[in-house]
Amino acid sequence: MKSLSYGIGSEISHPQLAESRWDIAMPSVFEFKHKICQEEIDGLGHANNIAYLQWLQAAALAHSAEQGWKTSDYKQRGWSWVVRSHFIEYRRPVFADELIIVKTWVADMKKFSSLRKYEILHGETGKLIARAETNWAFVTTESGRLVPIPEEVSSAFEIIDPPKASIASQPSSHNTPEEEKN
């Protein structure tokens, strides 16, 4: 099994991790594992909110790289993804040295943007830590203006979630009805 490292304590593993975009098995849901570092802990003793954004971005970049689109591939062509908006619903805290699993998938791919969704799970218990979504815009690096997402990029990602209401309004399949009340 091949592994890639993305920052301190972060790693992806996939039995079919390929060298090029032409040999790739598209996972419906990509899993990114990360061990919480002491540097990510805030004054309250749990992971800082900024760390969550960093995990989401790391998971998105790792998923894109596994699909054959590393940051350098976009840069070489003069393209980039930029964030239009983030939404995060925090469910429970995580602490230093705990393992999390960030599950991510592409929920839609429009002409100029793409919606990516996430679930952050506790690595040992499987309990839902947070749900999130990011609206990414596709731009040219030269001007920063929106450009249509090329077919060669969009076809690398399986769309697995039909357009729905925001994830904030959807109950999690990981929580019991009692947990949903809290």
**How is residue 102 annotated by DSSP?**
E
Is it the case that residue 64 has pLDDT exceeding 90?
yes
Higher pLDDT, 120 or 176: 120
- How many other CB atoms are found less than 10 A from the CB of residue 181? 7
How confident is residue 10, by pLDDT bands cut at 50, 70 and 90? very low
Ordered structural domains, the chain, with CATH = 2-16+26-181 (3.10.129.10)
Greater confidence (1 vs 143) lies with 143
pTM over 0.85: no
pLDDT at position 26:
52
Angle at 30 between CA 54 and CA 89, to 5 degrees: 50
List pLDDT tens digits, range 70-80.
999 999 999 99
> Would you state the pLDDT for residue 161?
67
pLDDT for residue 171: 41
CA-nearest of 46, 27, 50 to 36 is 46
Q: What is the mean pLDDT of the chain?
A: 82
What pLDDT is recorded for position 98? 98
Rounded mean pLDDT, 59-72 = 96
Helix (H) or strand (E) run with residue 179 in it: helix 177-181
In the chain, beta strands by DSSP E: 2-5, 10-14, 30-35, 79-90, 99-109, 113-122, 128-140
Q: In which residue are the tokens 């003793």 written?
A: 45
Q: What is the pLDDT of residues 22-62, one digit of tens each?
A: 344 556 799 999 999 999 999 999 999 999 999 999 999 99
CB 112 within 8 A of CB 138: yes
Contacts of 126 (CB under 8 A, 6+ apart): 174
Render pLDDT for 100-154 as a digit per residue (tens, 0 to 9).
999 999 999 999 999 999 999 999 999 999 999 999 999 999 999 999 999 999 9
Nearest partner of 109 among 151, 77, 143, judged by Cα: 151
Say which residues have a Cβ less than 8 Å from residue 125's Cβ, sequence separation at least 6: none
Pairing state between β 99-109 and 128-140: unpaired
pLDDT(174) > 50 = no
